[in-house]
Amino acid sequence: MEGQSYGYNIPVSERTKEVPWEEKVRIYEEVKSDFRFKEFLFGCLNCGACTASCPSNRFFDYSPREIVQRFMEEDIEVIYDMMHEYIWACSQCFTCWIRCPFVNNPGGLVIIMREVAVRNAFEATKDLLKPYGRVLLKVMTSGNQLSADMLQPDFFPDWGPKMLDNMQNLRAKRMAIPFDVGKSVKTAWEVSLETAMEMYTIWREAGIFEMLEKIDPNLYNVIMDIVEENEERWEELMEEED
Amino acid sequence: MGHAKSPYLKYADPIPFPVINRHSHYDHLFEEMYELEEKGEILVYRITEENKPVEVLTRTGRIKTIPTTKIWHHKSCGQCGNIPGYPASVFWFMNKFGYDYMNEPHQTSCTAWNYHGSGTSNPVALAAVWLRNMHQAWKTGYYPLIHCGTSFGSYKETREQLIFNRELREAVKPILKKLGRLTEDGRIVIPQEIVHYSEWVHANRYKIKELYEKEGKAKGIDVSNVRVAIHGACHVWKMMADDYPYDPEVYGGQRPAASTAVMKAIGAQVVDYSTWYDCCGFGFRHILTEREFTRSFAIQRKLKVIAEEIKADVIITHDTGCTTTFEKNQWIGKAHGMYHPVAVMSDVMFSALACGAHPFKVVQLYWNCSNYEPLLEKMGIKNWKELKKEWEETVKHISELEKQGKYEELMEFFKKYDLYEPYSKTSDGFRRKRSATADMPLFRS
């Protein structure tokens, strides 16, 4: 019902209250129309098995049971509000899924909600994902999500003093691995140019670059520079081979 | 009592297995998959005798076929980028067993870590990435072995979505067509089984045992007094939970069998603890941007419990996120009087150590932030200090030659260096020239 929340313990933020009701319905429908939705939500006894085993529940104000209950009750106001920060507490471990007697998948509902939040470029989502930019840059351009040189000690002081030693002579350490694996410092492994071309096509065709442009235009520009540079290199290579 | 459908899987006593429960609806997927093949929509990439398959049981009692050789290595960002000894140990065993494999650059990661962390993708892109990679493996004739736990879970989930949803198939097919990643008659290529490396280790556990008996013990290594805590990775056994090995001889078939079974096979002491089912706290986004959560969960729910309840010598994992989380979040516990030092490594790394692999050159333990030294002592690897020195001198030598620009000398050094597999077999000869990361590889042809 418009303007009314059935949330048991989730106060709806002023930000959400100010959003027109039609917009909140639109977002709710976008989540519900995802083809996975019907496979992730069946019924709920409110038993709380999901929340009892949820790692995020132990340290955040987050409950997978609440996610399921809000959808069961079609609590559009609270669902909209949850999509800004609440859902980002989920660890995506899917313990809730394996525990649920109804085989609900609250973690799956969260991933649909996250995807819709990104697609609609919610402000809170933009802020939350800013520190994640390095991973996005890496995965969008190279197809790898992590590389040895990303784990700089300055960024991970809590990992202890051995991190400093680890980063010494990193290139040489990687060269000394006696297998052709992990030898790259800037990517997890070497990715062939034709593979990268295929991946860029996937990003374009599936609307991923578009998503990225909305959520972080600066990062998008940096990524597109690298993508275009690689595409030019590929074209040159093809011309050379012809 | 044997398994009704297999002449090979035999067990002595009747036991309450398989686990038939509310989740046991998943195996139906395979029937649907073959129906789609009959209708000409997909091509199922089959495991053949060439792959020397081994049968294992899944949670529902389904027989899963695990290829052991002629393997297409589908690598893991977390392993190659962060725990180099992890894939190196897999390759070490592959070489030891004389298995044939392909290790090539024509692959991206599954990109699912990013998806679970940031939501910046969608099922169509995930399916296209998966199917592109699988098509590449099919093209080479080598069968894909998935190194990463998240790739394994994500691919299983994507497979289910793809098989049961025409709309997803219709969305992804034009993209694959554009990439030239359909069969000649326009079908999508789907592998018969999605196989995780831990399943490969599980299928090879008796060969690993033989190697341990023959080579590990000959070096004075003994793991019989090593106390092992098993941590299963969520995306490996909780995502699409039915499709992972369970075995009547491992906790009566009530818990995942892989990793535990290989530890038992080589005779280590697998010790149970109360929070075995909990995740590690990795959280995808959390390990990078909500680290107070990750470390709090790892310390309080796992490291502390393992230390207080069972005093394990090592936590055995089978995915990179868990390994990193447990391994890197110990030192910080000192700040709160919650320092519970314990070695952490994957099943294949521990197995390689047990079988006599070099702790630094192969298992790459120098990369660990946690204390692995007491474990090496307990395993009987008494010369680890000399081995570490040998490794450090090698690294120093390589580094100096490179700094001085002595590339010819460097290449000469590598010719004499004990390279197990200097240049891998790939499906074409162009890899160095056609690199998307041309400035990045360390070896140049």
Tokens of A124: 């809170």
Question: Cα(first)–Cα(last) distance of chain B, in Å?
Answer: 57
Q: Does A238 touch chain B (CB under 8 A)?
A: no
Tokens of B411: 């290449």
In a domain, A207, yes or no: yes
Whole-number mean pLDDT of chain A?
A: 91
What are the pLDDT digits (tens) for B92-116? 999 999 999 998 889 999 999 999 9
Q: Which candidate from A95, A182, A199 shows the least CB-CB separation from B238?
A: A95
Q: Is the pLDDT of residue A92 over 70?
A: yes
Task: Report yes or no on whether pTM surpasses 0.90.
Answer: yes
Tokens of B335: 């700040």
Instruction: Tell me the percentage of chain B whose pLDDT exceeds 90.
Output: 79
In a domain, A59, yes or no: yes
ipTM: 0.95
The CA distance from A169 to the nearest CA of chain B, in Å, is 7
CA contacts within 13 A on the Cβ side of A215: 28
Burial profile B46-75: b = 16 or more Cβ within 10 angstroms, e = fewer: ebeeebbbbebbbbbbbebbbbbbbbbbbb
Asked if A177 and B84 come within 8 Å (Cβ–Cβ), the reply is yes
Q: Position B288: which residue type?
A: L
Q: How far apart are CA B228 and CA B159, in angstroms?
A: 34
Please tell me whether residues A112 and A144 are part of one structural domain: no
Please tell me whether residues A36 and A102 are part of one structural domain: yes
The CA distance from B428 to the nearest CA of chain A, in Å, is 11
Q: How far apart are CA B378 and CA B357, in angstroms?
A: 16
Q: Nearest residue of A to residue B330 by CA position?
A: A159
In a domain, A158, yes or no: yes
The CA distance from A223 to the nearest CA of chain B, in Å, is 14
What are the pLDDT digits (tens) for B424-435? 555 655 444 555
Q: Is the pLDDT of residue A67 over 90?
A: yes
The CA distance from B116 to the nearest CA of chain A, in Å, is 6
Q: Which residues of A touch B174 (CB under 8 A)?
A: 205
Compute the CA torsion angle B43, B49, B51, B53 (nearest 10 deg).
100
Asked if B118 and A129 come within 8 Å (Cβ–Cβ), the reply is yes
Per DSSP bridges, beta strands B63-66 and B54-57 are: antiparallel
What was the pLDDT predicted at B421?
A: 54
For B57, phi and psi rounded to 5 degrees? -100, 145
Domains in chain B, please, with CATH?
Answer: 28-198 (1.20.1050.140), 220-385 (3.40.50.11810)
Q: Is the pLDDT of residue B440 over 50?
A: no
In a domain, A98, yes or no: yes
Q: How far apart are CA B217 and CA B210, in angstroms?
A: 10
CB count within 10 Å of CB B20 equals 11
Compute the CA torsion angle B144, B149, B152, B158 (nearest 10 deg).
-140
Q: Any idea what the CATH number is for the domain that residue A58 is in?
A: 1.10.1060.10
Residues 24-53 of chain A whose Cβ lies under 8 A from any Cβ of chain B: 35-36, 39, 53
What was the pLDDT predicted at A6?
A: 46
What was the pLDDT predicted at A3?
A: 46
Asked if B421 and A205 come within 8 Å (Cβ–Cβ), the reply is no
In a domain, A6, yes or no: no
Asked if A88 and A128 count as a contact pair (C-beta separation under 8 A), the reply is yes
What are the pLDDT digits (tens) for B5-18? 666 665 555 555 55
Tokens of B417: 């260096």
The count of residues in chain B is: 445
> Residue A10 — left, alpha, or beta (φ > 0 → left; ψ -120 to 50 → alpha)?
beta
Asked if B344 and B327 count as a contact pair (C-beta separation under 8 A), the reply is yes
**Residue B17 has what DSSP assignment?**
-
What was the pLDDT predicted at A180?
A: 79
**Band (A57; pLDDT cuts 50, 70, 90):** very high
Q: Nearest residue of B to residue A96 by CA position?
A: B238
Single out the residue of B129, B134, B132 nearest to residue B112, CA to CA.
Answer: B129
Better pLDDT: B416 or A126: A126
Q: Does B174 touch chain A (CB under 8 A)?
A: yes
> Residue B124 — left, alpha, or beta (φ > 0 → left; ψ -120 to 50 → alpha)?
alpha
3 state DSSP class of B22: coil
Q: Which residues of B touch A159 (CB under 8 A)?
A: 328-329, 331-332, 369
Better pLDDT: B1 or B309: B309
Last residue of a domain, one of A64, A94, A120: A120
Q: Which candidate from B123, B178, B423 shows the least CB-CB separation from A180?
A: B423
Single out the residue of B84, B65, B358, B90 nearest to residue B208, CA to CA.
Answer: B90
Q: Is the pLDDT of residue B204 over 60?
A: yes
Instruction: Tell me the percentage of chain A whose pLDDT exceeds 90.
Output: 68
In a domain, A4, yes or no: no
Residues 58-87 of chain A whose Cβ lies under 8 A from any Cβ of chain B: 58-60
Q: Order across the sheet with B269-270: list the strands.
A: B269-270, B227-230, B314-317, B343-346
Average pLDDT rounded to a whole number, residues A88-93: 96
Please tell me whether residues A160 and A202 are part of one structural domain: yes
In B204-289, where does DSSP find H-type helix? 205-211, 234-237, 260-265, 286-289
Tokens of B292: 């107070």
Please tell me whether residues A37 and A112 are part of one structural domain: yes
Tokens of B296: 């709090």
CA A7 to chain centre: 26
Residue of A114, A120, A192 to mutate, interface with B, max B Cβ within 10 Å: A192
What are the pLDDT digits (tens) for A224-233? 999 999 999 9
What was the pLDDT predicted at B11?
A: 56
Q: Which candidate from B23, B399, B422 shows the least CB-CB separation from A169?
A: B399
Please tell me whether residues A73 and A159 are part of one structural domain: no
What was the pLDDT predicted at A190?
A: 84
Instruction: Tell me the percentage of chain B whose pLDDT exceeds 70.
Output: 88
Please tell me whether residues A84 and A139 are part of one structural domain: no
In a domain, A135, yes or no: yes
Please tell me whether residues A58 and A94 are part of one structural domain: yes
What was the pLDDT predicted at A104?
A: 94
Please tell me whether residues A150 and A211 are part of one structural domain: yes
Average pLDDT rounded to a whole number, residues B259-285: 96
The CA distance from A75 to the nearest CA of chain B, in Å, is 22
Residue of B80, B136, B165, B420 to mutate, interface with A, max A Cβ within 10 Å: B80
Size of interface A-B (CB pairs under 8 A): 321
Number of domains in chain A: 2
Q: Does B276 touch chain A (CB under 8 A)?
A: no
User: Domain range spanning residue A24?
Assistant: 14-120
Q: Is the pLDDT of residue B27 over 90?
A: no
Better pLDDT: A238 or B44: B44
Q: Which residues of A touch B295 (CB under 8 A)?
A: 158
Please tell me whether residues A141 and A201 are part of one structural domain: yes
Q: Is the pLDDT of residue B422 over 50?
A: no
Q: Does A164 touch chain B (CB under 8 A)?
A: no
In a domain, A8, yes or no: no
**Band (B439; pLDDT cuts 50, 70, 90):** very low
Single out the residue of B170, B78, B156 nearest to residue B124, CA to CA.
Answer: B170
The CA distance from B219 to the nearest CA of chain A, in Å, is 21
Please tell me whether residues A89 and A170 are part of one structural domain: no
CB count within 10 Å of CB B171 equals 20
What was the pLDDT predicted at B21?
A: 52
Asked if B83 and B149 count as a contact pair (C-beta separation under 8 A), the reply is no
What was the pLDDT predicted at B94?
A: 94
Question: CA triplet B225, B231, B232: central angle to 5 degrees?
Answer: 135
The DSSP bridge partners found for residue B230 are: B316
Q: Is the pLDDT of residue B20 over 70?
A: no
Asked if B64 and B193 count as a contact pair (C-beta separation under 8 A), the reply is yes
In B281-337, where does DSSP find H-type helix? 286-289, 291-297, 304-309, 320-328
The DSSP bridge partners found for residue B66 are: B54
Please tell me whether residues A109 and A58 are part of one structural domain: yes
Q: Which residues of A touch B416 (CB under 8 A)?
A: none
Last residue of a domain, one of A84, A100, A120: A120
Average pLDDT rounded to a whole number, residues B210-237: 98
What are the pLDDT digits (tens) for B127-155? 999 999 999 999 999 999 999 999 999 99
**Band (A186; pLDDT cuts 50, 70, 90):** confident
Q: Which candidate from A35, A132, A182 shows the least CB-CB separation from B84?
A: A182
Average pLDDT rounded to a whole number, residues A193-219: 96
What was the pLDDT predicted at A166?
A: 84
Better pLDDT: B15 or B401: B401
What are the pLDDT digits (tens) for B305-360? 999 999 999 999 999 999 999 999 999 999 999 999 999 999 999 999 999 999 99
Single out the residue of B294, B284, B237, B280 nearest to residue B121, CA to CA.
Answer: B284
Q: Does B122 touch chain A (CB under 8 A)?
A: yes
Please tell me whether residues A63 and A89 are part of one structural domain: yes
Q: How far apart are CA A189 and CA A186, in angstroms?
A: 8
Last residue of a domain, one of A57, A86, A120: A120
Q: Is the dihedral of CA B337, B338, B342, B344 positive or negative?
A: negative
Environment class of B408 (CB within 10 Å of its CB; exposed 0-12, middle 13-18, buried 19+) = exposed
What was the pLDDT predicted at B24?
A: 52
Asked if B328 and A156 come within 8 Å (Cβ–Cβ), the reply is yes
Q: Which residues of A touch B114 (CB under 8 A)?
A: 135-136, 139, 145
**Band (B437; pLDDT cuts 50, 70, 90):** low
Asked if B28 and B60 count as a contact pair (C-beta separation under 8 A), the reply is no
Of the listed ranges A7-16, A69-78, B10-19, the one predicted with least confidence: B10-19
Better pLDDT: B400 or B427: B400
Environment class of A18 (CB within 10 Å of its CB; exposed 0-12, middle 13-18, buried 19+) = exposed
What are the pLDDT digits (tens) for B40-74? 999 999 999 999 999 999 988 889 999 999 999 99
Asked if B77 and A193 come within 8 Å (Cβ–Cβ), the reply is no
Q: How far apart are CA B57 and CA B328, in angstroms?
A: 34
What was the pLDDT predicted at A5?
A: 47
Q: Nearest residue of A to residue B419 by CA position?
A: A178
What are the pLDDT digits (tens) for A201-213? 999 999 999 999 9
Q: Does B21 touch chain A (CB under 8 A)?
A: no
Q: Which residues of A touch B121 (CB under 8 A)?
A: 115, 206, 208, 211
